[in-house]
Amino acid sequence: MKEVTIYDIASELKVSPATVSRGLKNHPSISEKMKKKIRQKAEEMGYRTNTFASNLRTKRTSTLGVIVPRLDSNFMSTVLAGIEKIASENGYNLIITQSFESAKKEKTNALTLYNSRVDGLIVSLASDTVSMDHFSPFFRKKIPLLFFDRVSDCMDCVNVVIDNLQMAYETTNHMIGQRCKRIMHIGGNRNRNVYADRFNGYKMALSENNIPVDPELIIETDLSIESGIEVAKKILKMKNKPDGLFVANDACAAGCMKHLKMNGVKIPEQIAFAGFNNDPISQLVEPNLTTVNYQGYEMGELVSKLMINHLNGNSPLTITNKVVLRAELIVRGSTLKK
């Protein structure tokens, strides 16, 4: 079936094709009455905007590419909502992909988005990504790249983060202040800045309080609820159990807490718990989980604003751009031994 063109609409309305084109673009030179007529006729005739042709003329697609590790994360979903809000307000569309924590999938996603001619790329890296080579086409074409939360130290990268090291240090110090002396750390893949920094903040707090780092108390997992349950099973078999757990996210902490409680462990009296992210699950477990709060929605809005301001020439991104957002420790019942 033949595609309807602006010439067909112009013929029906007995106006010039230029008038139809301006009317569809909401140009101020066309009256509201005529715009309404044009839109109604276009809808009636099944007209579709030829975005491809428009892109060729402007060399812009008004589309941002996004790569995240997982879509089923509460934090990531709130970040995406923030990105979408600002993008939509500024006339940009999003193509959202997920890497499923796989560098190989992330590489495929990057190529797909490059071939889709996105104007800019926003990325939170997969846990096993080491090389940045798959982003080279973007660097070569000077397509702006912005990383958030899970970022890279590469020279051409712009990053939006929180101070994970400081917040882990504060959390561990708080637990030491609650008389915890054997604090276990359950972390993620330390290829990623977030988990490396949370681990280093934990170690720094132990060191400053003259508590030795015990390798038996350091466990690396995928930080799922199921992994938390598996860690709980290990703890139940330990002769010298930890008296506190600092977990790098709330879901894993909640899974571990629940299984230990089911097996008679008193929380926080016997084992105190702290998580990270302030996910809704942190207030569904009993006692409520001490955690670190940082605003995913706010991070998403900022990331989107930085990218769009750059694309519109208002505030160019530079490689010195590293934005550190605020975060805070929220103390709840799971750590209050005193």
Q: What are 94-119's pLDDT values in tens digits?
A: 999 999 999 999 999 999 999 999 99
Place of tokens 């890279």: 152
Measured CA to CA in angstroms, residue 184 lies from 73, 189, 229, 240, 242 at distances of: 24, 16, 15, 12, 6
At 31, the pLDDT band (50, 70, 90 cuts) reads very high
For the residues 330-338, what does the mean pLDDT come to?
93
CATH architecture of 164-293+329-335: 3-Layer(aba) Sandwich (3.40)
Same fold, 6-49 and 164-293+329-335: no
Q: Which of 201, 167, 163 is nearest to 292 (CA)?
A: 167
Measured CA to CA in angstroms, residue 269 lies from 4, 191, 296, 319, 322 at distances of: 72, 34, 32, 48, 41
Angle between helices 32-45 and 17-24 (to 10 degrees): 90
The pLDDT tens digits for 132-151 are: 999 999 999 999 999 999 99
Based on the number of CB atoms within 10 Å of its own CB, is 100 exposed (0-12), middle (13-18) or buried (19 or more)?
A: middle
Does residue 295 surpass a pLDDT of 70? yes
Task: Determine the 3-state secondary structure of 96 from DSSP.
Answer: strand
> What is the pLDDT at residue 53?
56
At 205, the pLDDT band (50, 70, 90 cuts) reads very high
Q: Which CATH number fits domain 6-49: 3.10.580.10, 3.40.50.150, 3.90.1150.10, 1.10.260.40?
A: 1.10.260.40
Q: Looking at the DSSP assignment, which residues form a beta bridge with residue 66?
A: 96, 122
The chain-wide mean pLDDT, for the chain, equals: 92
At 57, the pLDDT band (50, 70, 90 cuts) reads low
> What is the pLDDT at residue 21?
87
φ, ψ (nearest 5 deg) of residue 136: -55, -40
Task: Kindly list the domain boundaries of the chain, sorted by start residue.
Answer: 6-49, 61-162+296-326, 164-293+329-335
CATH architecture of 61-162+296-326: 3-Layer(aba) Sandwich (3.40)
At 54, the pLDDT band (50, 70, 90 cuts) reads low
Does residue 2 surpass a pLDDT of 90? no
At 3, the pLDDT band (50, 70, 90 cuts) reads confident
At 51, the pLDDT band (50, 70, 90 cuts) reads low
Measured CA to CA in angstroms, residue 211 lies from 184, 196, 242, 249, 250 at distances of: 12, 19, 13, 23, 25
> What is the pLDDT at residue 319?
59
- The bridge status of strand 218-220 relative to strand 120-123 is unpaired
CB 228 within 8 A of CB 254: yes
